[in-house]
Amino acid sequence: YEEDPYCLIISSAGHGKRVKTSEFNPRSRRAGGLIAAKFKKPLKESTTIVACRICNAADEVMLITKNGTVVKMGVDDIPAQSRTATGVVVQRLDENDFVAAVTIVSPI
């Protein structure tokens, strides 16, 4: 990567954000982990992190839902935020639907 790479974080509720990898400092095994995303109350019980992928701003991301909806967008369309932010709505979902898979598509 030419620039500082990003960690793209997508939740099952369709929220997403980019976080610079430099915000995740190395830790020892005993130190515990770092918070990558916080979810608000209505989402807290049923929301999980579906994907955490390393990418750069020139890449594209494809999101696939349980019901078969596919959305492709540029990674740079997803705002860069802090580690503890919830993120923005990347894909609006129908009731009883969730993000099932995420993949990064690099430019050729």
Task: Find where tokens 């609006």 sit.
Answer: 92
Q: What pLDDT sits at residue 49?
A: 84
What does the pLDDT read at residue 1? Answer: 46
Per-residue pLDDT of the chain (108 residues; tens, 9 = 90+): 457 899 999 988 898 999 888 887 777 667 667 676 776 666 556 788 889 899 998 999 999 999 999 999 999 999 988 887 778 899 999 888 999 999 999 887
In which residue are the tokens 């979902």 written?
Answer: 93
Q: Measure the CA–CA gap between 10 and 99, rounded to whole angstroms.
A: 8
pLDDT given at position 39:
67
For residues 7 and 85, is the Cβ–Cβ distance under 8 A?
no
pTM (2 decimals)?
Answer: 0.82
